[in-house]
C-alpha cells in the first residue's frame, strides 16, 4: 500500500451496480411489532400512534400504514398539514392533529373528518367559525395544561374554555369528544409531577363532564407512561418514540427490556478512500490529526442530512468490520473516518446506527455521543437521505 498522502483507489467502472450514497432503511415489520407491544401494554386502552414529523423521520405514509396493521386505531400528528397528507394518501381511520396556528386549515380538516385540538379560546373560535363555513360539526379535544407549562389552557382558565365550548356545541358548530394533556416527567417514573399532573387531569375531566360533555376519549399517556404508568391510560394512549423501537428514557428501560425493536438503520457508502501520513490534518480546522499513517474514508453525509455537527470526533460508526469514530469536523455534506490499517474502496458500506445486531452503534449511542436524545437523532435525518422500506406494505 502506497504511503503517500494522495494515493487514490481505482475508480468503479460504469458497469458496477449503483448504490445510493445514503439510505435510511425502515423495518416496517418492527413498527408493526412495536405497536402490538404497546397495545398490549395499554391494558385495554386504544392506541394512537404518533406519526408527526414525517413519522419521526421514518416516513409518514408507509409508517402510518404499518401502525394501522399493528392495531393502532388512531393516528396523531402535530401539524394539520400532516393529517391532511394522510387523508390524501387514503387513510380512513380516526386522525387527530393538535398544533395549529391562526388562520390554519381548520375547514379542510373538518371536511376530511380530522379531530382537532383546542387549547386556547382563539383556537376554539376559529374552529367553530370554520365549521360554520363547511356546514359540518368539528370534533374537538380540549387540552388542559397539567403542569408542562407549554400548550394547553391553565387549570384556572379551564372553566372559561369549557363555557365557550359549551356555547359552540349547543349551536352545533363543534362536538367536544375528548380532553387531553401532556406529562412533563413521564420518562422519570416516580417523579412527583406525575401524580400532580394526573390529579389535575382528573379534576379537569370531572369539570368537563359536569358541563355535560360526553367524552369519547381522555388521553395523557405518552410512550413512557404507556409502558410504565397504567393509571394514566384512560381511554387512549399516545406513544411516539416507542413506535419506532426506541426507549423514551433510560429510567424506563432499554428497547430490548421493553420488548421494542429499533426500526431505522442509517447507512452511507464511502465515496473516497486514501492514505494520509502521520500528522496530517483532517477536515476543516484540522480538529483531527492522523496519529499514524493510515487510510481515511469519506462518507457523503453531513449536517445538511441531519448528522449533528457536534458529532465531530465523537459519534461512532461501523466500518471495515468494527466500530470507529468520526474523525474531524462534520461538514455540510460529508465527514471522514480514520480506518487505520483497514483496506477500503469507494462503495464500501458504513453503518451510522441501527438495531445493534451486527455490533453497529444504535441511535442511543449517537444520542449519548452528541449529548442529546434519540428522538432528535432519528427525526433530524433529512430528505436527501433515501428511505428504503422493508416488510409488509413496503
Residue-level pLDDT at 6: 34
17 confidence band (pLDDT: 50, 70, 90)? low
Q: What is the mean pLDDT of residues 175-191?
A: 97
Q: What is the mean pLDDT of residues 41-52?
A: 97
CA 57 to chain centroid: 6
Tell me the Ramachandran region of residue 354: left when phi exceeds 0, alpha when psi lies from -120 to 50, beta otherwise.
beta
Q: Which residues contact residue 175 at a Cβ distance below 8 angstroms, ignoring those fewer than 6 apart?
A: 137, 138, 139, 140, 169
* pTM listed for this prediction: 0.93
18, 52, 132, 185: the active-site residue: 52
336, β-bridge pairs: 298
Active site (annotated) includes residue 56: no
Q: Are 339 and 319 in contact (CB under 8 A)?
A: yes
Q: Supply angle C-alpha 226, 231, 234, rounded to 5.
A: 75
56, 284, 288, 375: the active-site residue: 284
Pairing label, strands 335-340, 174-180? unpaired
Q: Using CA atoms, how far apart are residues 7 and 12, in angstroms rounded to an integer?
A: 16
CA atoms 184, 314, 31, 79: torsion sign: positive
Q: What is the mean pLDDT of residues 331-359?
A: 97
Q: Using CA atoms, how far apart are residues 168 and 97, in angstroms rounded to an integer?
A: 20
Residue-level pLDDT at 4: 36
Which three cell numbers mark 65?
Answer: 400504514
Neighbouring C-alpha atoms within 13 Å toward the C-beta of 44: 5
Active site (annotated) includes residue 143: no
Q: What is the mean pLDDT of residues 383-387?
A: 96
| Exposure string for 249-268, b = 16+ CB within 10 A, e = fewer | beebbebeebbbbbbbbbbb
Which three cell numbers mark 372?
Answer: 442529546
Cα separations in angstroms, 85 against 59, 114, 126, 216 = 12, 11, 21, 25
Residue-level pLDDT at 8: 37
Q: What is the DSSP letter of 96?
A: E
Residue-level pLDDT at 134: 97
Residue-level pLDDT at 60: 98
Q: What is the mean pLDDT of residues 220-238?
A: 98
Amino acid at each position: 500500500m502506497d504511503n503517500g498522502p494522495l494515493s487514490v483507489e481505482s475508480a468503479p467502472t460504469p458497469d458496477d451496480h449503483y448504490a445510493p450514497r445514503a439510505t435510511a432503511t425502515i423495518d416496517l415489520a418492527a413498527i408493526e411489532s412495536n405497536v402490538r407491544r404497546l397495545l398490549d401494554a395499554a391494558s385495554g386502552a386504544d392506541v394512537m400512534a404518533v406519526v408527526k414529523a414525517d413519522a419521526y423521520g421514518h416516513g409518514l405514509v408507509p409508517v402510518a400504514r404499518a401502525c394501522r396493521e399493528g392495531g393502532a386505531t388512531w393516528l396523531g400528528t402535530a401539524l394539520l398539514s400532516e393529517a391532511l397528507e394522510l387523508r390524501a394518501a387514503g387513510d380512513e381511520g380516526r386522525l387527530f392533529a393538535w398544533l395549529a396556528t391562526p388562520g390554519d386549515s381548520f375547514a379542510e380538516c373538518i371536511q376530511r373528518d380530522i379531530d382537532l385540538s383546542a387549547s386556547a379560546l382563539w383556537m376554539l373560535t376559529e374552529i367553530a367559525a370554520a365549521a360554520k363555513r363547511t356546514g359540518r360539526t368539528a370534533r374537538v379535544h380540549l387540552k388542559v395544561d397539567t403542569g408542562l407549562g407549554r400548550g394547553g389552557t391553565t387549570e384556572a382558565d379551564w372553566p372559561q374554555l369549557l363555557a365557550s365550548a359549551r356555547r359552540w356545541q349547543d349551536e352545533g358548530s363543534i362536538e367536544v369528544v375528548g380532553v387531553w394533556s401532556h406529562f412533563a416527567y413521564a420518562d422519570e417514573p416516580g417523579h412527583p409531577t406525575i401524580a400532580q399532573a394526573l390529579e389535575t387531569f382528573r379534576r379537569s375531566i370531572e369539570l368537563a363532564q359536569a358541563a355535560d360533555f360526553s367524552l369519547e376519549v381522555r388521553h395523557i399517556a405518552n410512550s413512557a407512561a404507556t409502558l410504565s404508568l397504567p393509571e394514566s391510560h384512560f381511554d387512549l394512549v399516545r406513544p411516539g418514540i416507542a413506535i419506532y423501537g426506541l426507549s423514551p428514557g433510560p429510567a424506563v428501560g432499554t428497547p430490548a427490556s421493553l420488548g421494542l425493536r429499533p426500526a431505522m438503520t442509517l447507512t452511507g457508502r464511502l465515496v473516497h478512500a486514501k492514505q494520509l501520513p502521520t500528522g496530517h490534518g483532517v477536515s476543516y480546522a484540522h480538529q483531527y490529526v492522523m496519529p499514524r499513517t493510515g487510510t481515511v474514508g469519506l462518507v457523503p453525509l453531513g449536517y445538511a442530512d441531519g448528522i449533528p455537527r457536534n458529532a465531530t470526533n465523537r459519534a461512532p460508526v461501523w466500518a471495515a468490520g468494527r466500530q470507529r469514530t468520526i474523525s474531524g469536523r462534520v461538514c455540510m455534506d460529508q465527514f471522514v473516518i480514520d480506518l487505520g490499517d483497514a483496506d477500503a474502496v469507494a462503495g464500501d458500506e458504513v453503518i451510522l446506527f441501527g438495531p445493534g445486531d451486527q455490533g453497529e452503534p444504535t441511535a442511543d449511542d449517537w444520542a449519548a455521543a452528541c449529548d442529546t436524545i434519540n428522538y432528535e437523532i432519528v427525526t433530524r435525518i433529512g430528505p436527501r437521505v433515501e428511505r428504503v422500506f422493508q416488510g409488509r406494505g413496503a
